[in-house]
Amino acid sequence: MSMMWLGGLADHSMQASSAASAAQQQVHGVARSVKDLEHHVARLSLLNQALWELLREKLGVTDADLERLASEIDLRDGVQDGCITSGPLQCPRCQRVSNSKHWKCLYCGLEFEKPVMG
Ligand SMILES: [Zn+2]
């Protein structure tokens, strides 16, 4: 009887340690994804900066031009938050409202005009 009880304890302890190890693996996976994303964002930032400096040099546009256009584009989703977020878009054909992340009307199927980037 007491041997069975001890065996049961050992089972629980093994289950707990395997759950802990699964959780630990999950944490490592998430940490790796975050690191990959950080690297990706840093690379995109570098390319973005290079593109901007190239345009400024070749076309003579200014930082103020960039800021003005960025503010205008930021407001296209109806929220001034410094980035492009998905939001409600009214379909020009059926007038019903879908989320901009789908890039098409969920009711009549009309494809919305997609931005070139993002
Ligand atoms: Zn529609």
Per residue in 107-116, pLDDT tens?
Answer: 999 988 766 5
For ligand 1, a single-atom ion, the residues with CB < 5 A are 91, 93-94, 105, 107-108, 110
pLDDT at position 84 is 75
Q: What is the CB-side half-sphere exposure of residue 19 using CA atoms within 13 A?
A: 6
Q: What is the rounded CA–CA span in Å between residue 17 and residue 48?
A: 46
pLDDT at position 6 is 62
Q: What percent of the chain has pLDDT over 90?
A: 50
Residue 75 has pLDDT above 60, yes or no: yes
What confidence tens digit (pLDDT) does each residue in 37-49 have? 999 999 999 999 9
Q: How far is the CA of 81 from the centre of ligand 1 (A)?
A: 27
Contact 74, 84 (CB under 8 A): yes
Q: How far is the CA of 88 from the centre of ligand 1 (A)?
A: 13
Q: How far is the CA of 91 from the centre of ligand 1 (A)?
A: 5
Q: What is the rounded CA–CA span in Å between residue 99 and residue 94?
A: 14
Q: What is the rounded CA–CA span in Å between residue 91 and residue 40?
A: 34
